[in-house]
Chain A
């Protein structure tokens, strides 16, 4: 069993859990993910590693409550345990030699962007952070980003905090102003990553995206997470999750992401009803 050593609510729908998993903490690198099952009969869900502390033997995950699986995970308190915790899976984000990088995070994707920004900062790179949220009350990890970014820009869709708008506007402005990034690393909803690529491609700025398809095992045995990259089929769980953004077929990935929408809506409702019963 994998005990939850710390639990923190980052905003009304986003939770951080630190989980005791010493072997994973020892091996984890920014960009890798774990597969978690909250309870004995839970679905296997992939979550990117948001932080790791090898000395304490802990690994953190940050997740948004979007469906039954994350809702179940969100019921667990400090001192309780998740049933299964497997990793570190996937390839780590390649940051070696990078000196001037723009890290773009969207929503809960910022939780995954943060360890990448921190790793870049630790190797002495100049880090520009651009993060976007729907509104002020959904902002997460601002302090942590400020601590590792040389420049930091926050935007909200509704203008309730930072600049009003989406992440691509400041990104475009930075590139136009001659920021000369070695690379842009974008992590967030598929639609955001697609538009980041649309912004960077005309300028030829190399862009790496972290894909988040549906997964089952996370070890390459099922192909549920397959994507088309550069015209070839790739398994995000073993070949990724990071890919060259210019090569990814985002429209196909978005279609595949909707595969279980009706089931998920139903499962979410069932889980909500279950929780209501427990409260009564």
Chain B
């Protein structure tokens, strides 16, 4: 008899007013008992619509059935067939729009907490099973992967399991991409990311850091001089956008990428870090996505008294995950929606002292289907802040396409691929992840 509780088994988490002062993980994860209880909410329905919501088609009812019986290792093996990074994806996928969004328990109550269960299984396995995976028999073919973010790592893992010799080239000094520099420690502990990457190395994947492809080596050289037979481009969408308003070059204006890179990758939150970050009193984060929530919550943890999310549409239109918005609100982040900055104001020393904003109203839907924000006449006001973080989205870095003849991109700079296999306009060059779609999700 399944557990018919209409609500998910709650996951313990740090108290908002405790966690907004530290960088430890907010959500503490299920105990084995909670995981079994939650797994029993799964009806094991025949159509398993959850699977169609999962971009990599994990056998969700299959792994949950094992969890319900306390067979955590078997549950892990089911997930591992489809996902290389379950501890990461269980934490940061937007499950409400994916697997959990399709769960039939969600019609009359809350869906099964698939993400929390995936996370539990991955964490349990990491803590309890220490047998190293067996590297499969080599098939004699070499593939290069450019970028060690989630897309590159997943492809590397899948190819390695098929026997390919895979080398991943990463521009930064550690692998992980956005998992290391973007998503903060309190949502995704970095030692967990590195543990999943170690697992790939044990499968025989080589990861070479400090390698900026397009500069130190070109794709043509990877083919001609290094003997790679195929290349997968997963260089992400790391080029930050700015608003183009006056005052954006003042001291104290960051792109979210810079702010988060300093905090997460360079660990500027630690008192002994060699990389500095501004100590702010009042911070405005411009934008409404997950990156904006991450930047705002980091700023709060770094000691800012007031942190605003400034977003030109309304609360209902925030593109961030609902859970992240709720967490931000609990931690004391102030939402100034229907607000748009028009100028950054500086003091006599060239530092941010505030910004001029206008209020917005939502007009008719635009081509994206979202209601277009329009300026309310005469609504200008000043907001006192000493730091501004621009979280307006990113686009793909042009470095690779500009150094690879025959690799075409669309007008947004995203690589053009054909069909489900991700082949680009160059033979044997494949691409995926944000380099193709623009900024999107981890899985």
Contacts and interface: CB of A to CB of B under 8 A. Distances in A.
Interface of A: 23-24, 27, 37, 41-44, 68-69, 72, 83-89, 216-217, 219-224, 226-228, 233, 238, 249, 252, 255-256, 258-260, 263-264, 267
Contacts of B258: 216, 222-224
Given A44-B266, A88-B216, A216-B258, 12 more contacts: A42-B274, A43-B274, A84-B173, A85-B210, A216-B262, A216-B275, A217-B171, A222-B255, A223-B242, A224-B258, A226-B242, A259-B251
Contacts of A217: 171-172, 261
B217 interface: yes
Interface residues of B, number: 40
Contacts of A220: 238-239, 397-399
B257 A37 contact: no
B246 to A, nearest CB: 11
A161 to B, nearest CB: 36
Contacts of A84: 173, 209-210
A241 to B, nearest CB: 14
Contacts of A41: 267, 272-274
B238 A221 contact: yes
A84 B349 CA distance: 35
**Residue of A27, A72, A216 with most partner-chain B CB within 10 A:** A216
Contact of B397 (A68, A221, A224, A226): A221
A226 B241 CA distance: 12
Nearest to A225: B258
Contacts, number: 105
A35 to B, nearest CB: 8
A37 B173 contact: yes
Contacts of A264: 276
B212 A86 contact: yes
Interface string B255-273: 1011001100011000011
B123 interface: no
Contacts of A227: 249
B255 A238 contact: no
B215 A267 contact: no
Contacts of B255: 222-224
Nearest to A90: B215
A249 to B, nearest CB: 8
A221 B350 contact: no
Nearest to B270: A41
A23 B212 CA distance: 11
B248 interface: yes
Interface string B162-197: 000000000111000000000000000000000000
Given A86-B171, A233-B242, A258 B251 contact: yes
Main secondary structure of the interface of B (DSSP, over half): loop
A80 B212 CA distance: 24
Nearest to B259: A222
Contacts of B267: 41
14 contacts: A27-B215, A43-B276, A84-B209, A86-B173, A222-B261, A223-B240, A238-B399, A252-B249, A255-B349, A255-B350, A256-B249, A259-B251, A259-B278, A263-B276
B392 to A, nearest CB: 11
A86 B210 contact: yes
Nearest to B257: A222
B155 to A, nearest CB: 21
Contacts of B239: 220-221
Give the top 6 A-B pairs by smallest Cβ distance, nearest first.
Answer: A255-B350, A222-B258, A221-B238, A263-B276, A43-B274, A84-B173
A216 B172 CA distance: 10
Contact of B274 (A68, A89, A255): A68
Contacts of A259: 251-252, 278
A69 B274 contact: yes
Contacts of A216: 258, 261-262, 266, 275
A229 B156 CA distance: 41
A87 B215 CA distance: 7
Nearest to B349: A255
Contacts of B242: 223, 226, 233
A205 B4 CA distance: 81
B87 to A, nearest CB: 24
Given A219-B171, A219-B399, A222-B240, A23 B216 contact: yes
Contacts of A258: 251
Contacts of B248: 233
Nearest to B262: A216
A226 B290 CA distance: 24
Contacts of B349: 255
**Residue of B173, B242, B257 with most partner-chain A CB within 10 A:** B173
A223 B258 CA distance: 7
Contacts of A72: 274
Given A219-B171, A233-B242, A238-B399, A226 B274 contact: no
